[in-house]
Every structure is written in structure tokens, then in C-alpha cells.
Structure 1
Amino acid sequence: MDIERIIQCIKQGDEILFNCLFFFSCPQNLAIVLMRFIRTGVKCRLLRVSLHTLRILSRDKKILGPLVTDQALLTLAKLAGLTTGDASDEASDPDSDFYDNIIASLTEAKVLQCPADEEASDQYEDVQFYELRLMFLITALRPELSNQLQREGGVSLLTAALENCLEVQWKDHNEYVLDPAAPPISLDASQRIIEILKILFSITYSTHRQEPSDDDAAIYRHLVATLRLCLMRKCVFHTVNLLSALPLQCLDVLLTVPLEPSSEQCQGVNMDCVKTLLMFMERRLESGDKVKEKLTPVLNLLTESCRAHRETRHYIRKHILPPLRDVSQRPEEGNTVKNRLIRLMTHLDTDLKHCAADLIFVLCKENVRRFVKYTGYGNAAGLLATKGLLGGQGPRTSSSGPWYSSDSDSDTEEYRQVRDRINPVTGRVEAEQPNPMEGMTEEEKEEEARRLIMLFNKLSRSVTQPVGVDSEGKLVPVLGLRGNSLTEEGKSESESDNDAGEN
């Protein structure tokens, strides 16, 4: 392929050749040609067409080679105004700080400012969207740059950008004016909000278990206050992911909001955000598509919130675990939120089933008896085994764990009437089984008893012997293991023990 000849034809405005090249050329060769053409610095209408063509070609991962070289990236960055100088000179330097320059460029104040002219503003917002998307990719792929952005005030900067997209009107530092008649968020603003939330997640996801300083806590609380508006304006999915990554003690801002006449409340605390999260979780439970990715963040967020805030736990428990009245069905049967969550407790995905079980366990104040009462022992066994609670211990009382009040979980009258007939394994009232001895004579009963004794004796003699792993990785009887090897002496001891048992 004569690349130089093709480029000369394009410069001369031979659009027919360009179109033929697009439709009939090998995509990888076309990418090479277009990059060479763009580097010639020709300013013409075909430059825009070339860039659009490259954008389409970049969706095919098989032909990304010509587009991800240092020289190609620097050329595109220069055209986008993200860097200055001669691309060829910068590319020749193996230690180029190209990515650092992009971070510095993207975090300038221009990210937060929009031109007054309407047409220019629309163009700027389009450019801003791609700047934000590029910033997300860089912070996601380069952890050291993500940390740098966080250290250099990235959270405050991006919070301000988020406020700008939401057009927040603040009453005070962490309380805003919510206008019920406000128009819905535009598509362009919504796209930029999503990218900002993704970047914030990239630079804060490691802070969840950390104890922030007073200054950082103030920054995170202001961010949470802005995220509360995201929840109220229905930007829920990425907001939930970000909330689950922030320090837990900073999430109290979601609740410390004055009550309005239409507010959801529990014990005098505003529950509007909690209601939004509950409704979001219910929609995800009903969708049945990509359950783990869609449900795990919101389940974890609700669980941690219930551990930390008594009012949140009371409110969510009222909606998920109402007092038991009808126990004629298994706990996992039905279409209520409780039924769906209990079904997830036996899901094949370990992370998902533990998230669902942990939420219900916390709603039961981590009390084993109460947990089994609502879910049935069969569904509860997995989580109890993981936590070492199969023995049936009561609620957690360690100083490191959450503190729960001692209010009782009083049973309903309907539950008390059938409590003694509930099968603890299935969690429901089972149909009465006929007496197997009914209609048998005394002699037949004695004969059946002798048969059962013989079966028990046979079972005790043929019980499976404990095994271990020898030096070759094979399963062998424990009695034959001597220094990780099976000796003939061990075999004879094992065989003599078996013979003695049979005699």
C-alpha cells in the first residue's frame, strides 16, 4: 500500500478515493493512513471526517495498534488542546510526563466554567464530556494518577463540577433548595454527571474503611450532601456505587435534613434518601438481569447504614421484615422483597448470597434465633457457618461490633398459635405426618425396633474413616499418615482396627 500517494490524493480533495478507501480498505491499514494524514497538519474539512472515522474505528479492539502508540496519542492530544509543543519531539522521550500533563490540564478551573454564549456553551459541554470521560479512563487505569488527583484537591473540584451540572442552590453548607417544579436533568448534563461520579469513585473507593481527617470528613460530607440531590433527581445507579465507597461516618448527611410535610420519616428522622435506595433495590430485584453487578453495591450500602443508624434499620425492617403472621409458605416463596432476598441467600454466587443474607441478619440485630425464625434454618445455614454461629449464639455483644438496643421482637398472635408446629429448617408449618407405628401390633413394633438397632450397628461399623493428604496429594486414611507419607505399618494398623470392629 502506497501510503504517501494516498495521502497526496486526499490532500488534493479526492473524496472518491477517500470513500473507497473507507469501504474497501483493511481497517488497520486505514487507521495507519488516517494517522499519517492527520500528522501532516493539513487544515481542511477532511480532517474532521478523518477524526470521526478514527473514532468509529477505535471501537474495534483488533485495530487499536496504530492508535495507541506514543506518537499517535500525543498527536490526538495536541489536536484536542490537551498538550502543546511538537508531538514528535515529546514522543521521542521515553520518560515523557504525557499522562501527568493531561491530568494537570483536565483539573484546571475551565472544567467548572462555561462560556456565556449559548452556542459556544453547547460546544464546550460536548468537549467537557469527553474531557471527563478521558479523566475517568486515566484514573481507572493509572492508580498512581488517581491518588495524585485525590491529593491535589480532586474531590472538591469534581464536587463543584457536579454542583454545576445539577444547578444546586444551597441554603447553607450542606443543605440545598429542592424545587419540586424543577425540569428534569437534560441528557447532556446527565452524561456529564455520570462521568463525574465514575471519576469520584475511582479516586475515593479506597477510603471506605479509613478514618478521614477533620478536613477530609468535611469535604466528603459536602460531597454526600450533593449526592443526596443526585438521589432526589433520580441519578441513582452511579450515586449508589459512590456512596458505598465513601467513609461510612460521613453518610449521616443523608439523614440530617429537616423534615418536610411530604417527607418519609422514622422516629423524627428524614428517610427520603433511604426510601429512594429501597425502591432502587426493589427494581433491581425485579429485573433479574446482571443481578450481582446491580444489587451488590446497594445491598452493602443498606447493610452498613442499618448497622450505623438505628432509625434506618427500623425503617428498612418495617418494609422488608414485617411481623410474621402467615407461615404456611416457605420464607423464599412469594414475590415480596423479603421472599426475593431470601431466595438470593442460596444463590450460586457466594458474594451475592452473603450480601443478601447479611442485610437480613443485620435487620434481625444479628440475633441467630430471630434470623432463623424469618428465613428458616436451611436458608440461614450458609451465613451462620461463615460467621461461626451454627451453634446458635445470640446477638453480637463485642465492643468492636455494632450496638443494638434490647427492644424485644414480640411475636404476633397468629405466629404464637402455630409456633410449635413450625419446621425450623423450612421455616413454615408442615402438614402433620402419619404415625409410622399406627396399626402395628406389639410384636411388630419389637421387630421394627430390632431391625433399627441392627441398621445402627452396621452404620457405626462402616462409618467413613477420616482421611488426609499424603506427599503425593492423594487422599489416605489419617491413621496411615506418618510424616506426610503412608507407611505399611500404618496400613496394617488401619486394617487391624477395621477387623476388630467387624469382630
Structure 2
Amino acid sequence: MEALILSTASAFESGNETDICNKLQEFNKENAQTFGFPELGTETKKKFMSDLLHTLETRPSDECHILCLEALRILSREKHRMHQLKEKDGVHLLLKLARLSDDAPEVGNQIIIEAQKCLCNLVFNSEDAQRICSESNYVAHIMNRVKLYSEPNITYDIKFFDMRLLFLLTALCPELREKVRKDLNGIPLLVQVLETDTLASVFKSQCAASVGASEDLETLTDDQANLACEVLKALFNTIIHANLSDLEGVENKVLEGSGRVLKYLLLTVAGTDTKTEEYHNQTINLLTCHLPQQIISEMIPEPDGGAVGGAAIYNGRNMDTMVVILNFLEKRLDRAAANKQRRLAEQLSPVISALCVLSRTEPIIRRFLKEQVLPPLDAKEAASLPEEGNTLRNKLVRLMTNPSTDVKEVVADFLFILCKESVTRLVKYTGYGNAAGMLARRGLLAGGQGNTDYSSDEGDSDTEDYLEVRNKVNPVTGRVEEERRNPMEGMTEEQKEFHAAELAEMIDRITREGVIKPMSVSPDGKLVPMDEYIAATRNQWRQALEEESEEDDDDDSDVNDKINVKETGNRARVKRCVCSSDDVWMCDV
């Protein structure tokens, strides 16, 4: 490798453009898939970069320009030792060639694209390059070019790398997000790119009166799908930390356009399933942001507002987009199960988070999702554990006890929202055992309800055969349990006392050895260690007795005697246990 670069250096010194092009073609071809040059000496690499940048500044032919930029793109893949390439002069030169500066020369589209590729690598790999781009006005130049996307000389590739560069800058330079959103009118411009450059044929083919189901819409090309992905990622960065009031301040026309664009992105398909899933995934990621209700409402229009012929009409609204998201979720769930839960949080958290946001934002969406995910139970379902089966409810309940904290929390939150945050309703569909982790986290182990800001016009309907077995359902397991013989049947009272004492002794031993840690539910519904609960209870007794003693003018010794008597009786009750075939319950302290 070093020998090839040294021979290239000789060509640069000779100034013969043909020799330079030949050597660069050889270098580019040999290193097309190379992402690091550990064997290359530092000084050799510095000299090579210097020769490439100097040649670009001397305005050679387009062919030599492109070959130099291709070589720089290959070198910029290496995260370290970028030397002159990440310095201000090097970054500015690339920005000029990408036509993202005030003094940009007239160059061909291929030169612009290669310069954009170099900049994407630089911004991704170098904090210095990020700082230079952040401190300069280059984001404004990107947004200014966005306004010219209707011009025919701006190709899809230029638009694609503009959006990728904007995505990288807004991801790695958080201070640019507000600038793009507020100062550069970023949201309307990016929505316009989605509408005119990715969905132009779709909007053109749809009359104002109707839009059919997803199979009736035109298929997106690969270029349109790729561009949509980059725009959606940049749009996500722009609004993820924005206040809802900032977004609601955008013109109503823009908000309505955003809702229609998101709807069409979910209802269209690309040439391949992989490409479709890719831009559907980015669309769903955007829905994890707290968008204004007006945008969400536009995604589920009324039939006379452009949703005639949809496959899923619910309460006068077209729910095709919600069906697409549910199908996307179920596909991810099946894939995760087949891959033995690898990358589970990355696969599932965004789509379930989006469903949580949608359910909280639009009540009709929550009611529709409730019917799809948690339909009324029947006797057959009540006979099985909630996590057993192949329904969407079964698949989600299985994840409530997943080792991944992120996954089990977001799944539990979603199901809790569908139940209007009612503990009783959640336990009915999932079983207390599966829901205990989420209830403990929210301080609801003692029952009750979380957020009560839900409409009261929705009842909790049960099928008739479920009503017949409802009282037989074990709330812990969530199913009807078979009656079992009492294991204490036939025992004398002395035998029961003996086994109870033996069990209490075993529990005491494993507690002292740290195998288990006894817990209790505090008055606020949270789990607390038993010793802390006892200490708090003892203090309450002391305070109550002290207040009582002050009234009766009793001395402190009487107070201590009363406390000791009460504690002695309490410990005696703790020693006594009631055993059954399934569980061991300790009496309250």
C-alpha cells in the first residue's frame, strides 16, 4: 500500500494529470472496501492528503476532481489520523466543491456528490469537522438548496446526501436543531421535500376526493424511499426536543400536510419488503415524538375527507395507518422470537413507544388499539395463561417479564394505557404476576389507577361465557385454576403447627443468609424492605403511644412497656403461616 502511495506522490510531483488519474484509479479500485490504513505511515498519509487537496485547489479536469475526491472519501472512513482533511481549510474546500458556501465554483453534479460523501464521513468521524460546520453557516446553505429542489439539475443523489449531512449535523451538533427549526424554517421545508420529492407521484395520482387502501397507491422507487428515510431522520432530530407549543405554532396548513404525508408514507410500499420496512420504520420513529393532535388526526381521516375505500373504518375514521403499524409490530415480534430476542429493545421499543404516544394523543386511536390488542376475553382464553398463545396480547404479555428493562417497561406501559391505566383492568388481561413489576415501579401494588385523564364513555365489556368463569380466575396467574386437594387435609392441629413453625424457620434462615429479602407494600403502593417497614411502624406506634401517654400523664416506662408488648405479639403472628398447595403467605406485620 505504501509503495502505491509513494508512486502516486511521484505522479503528483510531475504534474502530469494523466499519470495522476491512472495512479488514483489504481488506489481507488484497490481500496474500494477499505476502512482503515493502520499500515500506512503518518508522514506518508499526510503527504498524500496534502497532494490531493492541492490538486483539487488547482482546478483540474472533472475526471481528476472526481478521482481525488474518491480517494479523500476512502481516507475519510478512518476515524483517526485524518490530519489536514479535518482542518478548517480542508473542510471549507470540500464545502465549496459541494456548493455549500458563498464562494462555491460551478462544478458538475458528480463532483458535488463526491464532496458531499467526504463531508458525511468527516462529520461522522471528526469532532473538529462537526465544530467547524456548526460554527459556520453551512446548515443554512443546505436549507437554501432545499428551496431549489424543484429545479431539474438537482438530482436525487444530491438531495439524498444533503439530507444525510443535515441528519448527521443535527444528530451530532444539538445546538443546530433549534436553529434549523426556528431560524431556517426547517419543518415546512422538510415536509415539502417528503411531499414533492418522495410522494409526488402518490399525491398526483390521488384526487382530492378519495384515497384507497395501501395496495391502490403507487409504489415508491428506491430513490424516493431512500430520500424519505434521510428526510425523516433529519426531521426527527429537528423536533425531538421541541416543545409542543413550538410545533403548534407552525402554520395549520403545514400541520395538515404533515399528517397527510405520514399517512401516505405508511400506506405506500417500495419495490422490496426490506425497503418498505426501512422507511416505515423511520416514519414510526417520528411518531414517537409528541406531535400536535392535528397531525395525528390527519392520519386517521373521516371517510368523506379522503378515506373512502379504506380497509379499516372505525367509528367513522379510517384506521388503515394504525393497522399498518400493528402489522409492523407483530412482524417485529415474530422476528424477535425467531432470533431468540437479539436486539429486542432496538427492534420493538420505537414502535411500541409510538403506539403509546398515539394512544395518549387521540382517544379514538386508543379505543381502536384496545379492541385489536385486548379484545373482550372468553372462557377459552380465561382457561390459559395470558402469556400462552399466538395472539398479539399473548406475545406482548410474554415480554412483560423480559430480561430487557427497556422492553418490559415500554410493553407494560402500552398495555396499561390501553386499559385506561386501571390496575384492575390490566390485571384481568395480564395477570398480577406479569404486571407486578410495572405496578411496583408506579407505586400501584395496592391497586388503584394511574393517570385518570381518560374519557368515561367507554365501558369494559366481557363476553357472556367469560362472565360465568370470572370469579374463578386466579388474579395472580390470570387464568382459571383447577381445584386442588388441600395438602393439610387430614392433618391434626399439632401437625399443622409443626409444619408452620418449620416453614417459618426455613424462611428466617434464607432471609438471614441473603437468599431472599422480605418486602412489604407501603401505604403509597411501593415495595419497601420489611425491616424498614417494621421500623417505620414501630415509630408510628411510639408516636401514637407517646401522644396517648401525654394525655394520660403516663411516664416513658409505660410507653416502652406498651411498645414491647405490641412487638412481642406482632412477632408471634409473623411466626404463624398458612400453607396451601400454591403459595406461602406470611401474615401482616
SS at match of 1:198: helix
Structure 1 position 357, deviation (Å)? 0.9
* 2:54 equivalent to 1:39: yes
Residue from 494, 497, 500 that aligns with 1:447: 494
1:71-98 superposed Cα distances (whole Å, 9 cap, x missing partner): 22112112222224499xxxxxxx9777
Aligned to 1:52: 70
Aligned to 1:245: 289
* 2:157 equivalent to 1:126: yes
Structure 1 position 453, deviation (Å)? 5.0
Aligned to 1:8: 13
Asked whether the 8 Å contact 1:306–1:312 carries over to 2, the reply is: yes
* d(CA) in 1 for partners of 2:312, 2:87: 55
Asked whether the 8 Å contact 1:201–1:242 carries over to 2, the reply is: yes
Residue from 368, 384, 408 that aligns with 1:329: 384
Where do residues 48-197 of structure 1 align in structure 2 (5 Å cutoff)? 48-85=66-103, 100-109=136-145, 111-116=147-152, 120=153, 124-151=155-182, 152-165=184-197, 166-167=199-200, 178=211, 182-197=217-232
* 2:372 equivalent to 1:319: yes
Structure 1 position 192, deviation (Å)? 1.3
1:209-230 superposed Cα distances (whole Å, 9 cap, x missing partner): 5464444565333322221111
* d(CA) in 2 for partners of 1:293, 1:382: 21
Distance 1:431 1:72, change over 3 A: same
In structure 2, give the amino acid aligned to 1:53: A
Where do residues 275-354 of structure 1 align in structure 2 (5 Å cutoff)? 275-288=323-336, 290-325=343-378, 326=380, 327-354=382-409
Residue from 217, 225, 230 that aligns with 2:265: 230
Distance 1:49 1:381, change over 3 A: same
Residue from 229, 235, 259 that aligns with 1:200: 235
1:196-245 superposed Cα distances (whole Å, 9 cap, x missing partner): 11111111111365464444565333322221111122442111111221
Aligned to 1:272: 320
1:253-276 superposed Cα distances (whole Å, 9 cap, x missing partner): 212343413341111122122112
SS at match of 1:206: coil
* 2:478 equivalent to 1:427: yes
Asked whether the 8 Å contact 2:219–2:268 carries over to 1, the reply is: yes
1:303-322 superposed Cα distances (whole Å, 9 cap, x missing partner): 23223333222221221112
Aligned to 2:116: none
Distance 1:433 1:132, change over 3 A: same
* d(CA) in 2 for partners of 1:246, 1:175: 28
* d(CA) in 2 for partners of 1:10, 1:335: 70
In structure 2, give the amino acid aligned to 1:275: V
* d(CA) in 2 for partners of 1:31, 1:227: 47
Asked whether the 8 Å contact 2:52–2:72 carries over to 1, the reply is: no
1:269-300 superposed Cα distances (whole Å, 9 cap, x missing partner): 22122112111111121221532223222212
Structure 1 position 175, deviation (Å)? 6.5
* d(CA) in 2 for partners of 1:454, 1:97: 74
In structure 2, give the amino acid aligned to 1:452: H
Structure 1 position 50, deviation (Å)? 2.3
* d(CA) in 2 for partners of 1:461, 1:99: 65
Where do residues 10-25 of structure 1 align in structure 2 (5 Å cutoff)? 11-14=16-19, 17-18=23-24
Unaligned ranges ≥5, structure 2: 32-36, 106-130, 270-278, 337-341, 519-530, 536-563, 573-589
Aligned to 1:417: 468
* d(CA) in 2 for partners of 1:306, 1:71: 51
* d(CA) in 2 for partners of 1:239, 1:49: 36
- RMSD of the TM alignment (CA)? 3.7
* d(CA) in 1 for partners of 2:377, 2:250: 46
* d(CA) in 1 for partners of 2:313, 2:25: 63
Structure 1 position 341, deviation (Å)? 0.8
Asked whether the 8 Å contact 2:387–2:398 carries over to 1, the reply is: yes
Please, which moves more after superposition, 139-148 or 64-73?
A: 64-73
The TM-score with structure 1 as length reference comes to 0.79
Asked whether the 8 Å contact 1:228–1:254 carries over to 2, the reply is: yes
SS at match of 1:282: helix
In structure 2, give the amino acid aligned to 1:431: E
* d(CA) in 2 for partners of 1:208, 1:336: 37
Unaligned ranges ≥5, structure 1: 88-94, 468-476, 481-496
Aligned to 1:255: 300
* d(CA) in 1 for partners of 2:254, 2:418: 30
Structure 1 position 379, deviation (Å)? 0.4
In structure 1, give the amino acid aligned to 2:283: T
Aligned to 2:413: 358
* d(CA) in 2 for partners of 1:446, 1:292: 53
Asked whether the 8 Å contact 1:208–1:248 carries over to 2, the reply is: no
Distance 1:310 1:20, change over 3 A: closer
* d(CA) in 2 for partners of 1:378, 1:245: 31
In structure 2, give the amino acid aligned to 1:243: L
* d(CA) in 1 for partners of 2:203, 2:98: 35
Aligned to 1:219: 254
Residue from 433, 442, 456 that aligns with 1:387: 442
Structure 1 position 384, deviation (Å)? 1.0
In structure 2, give the amino acid aligned to 1:147: E
Percent identity at matched positions?
30
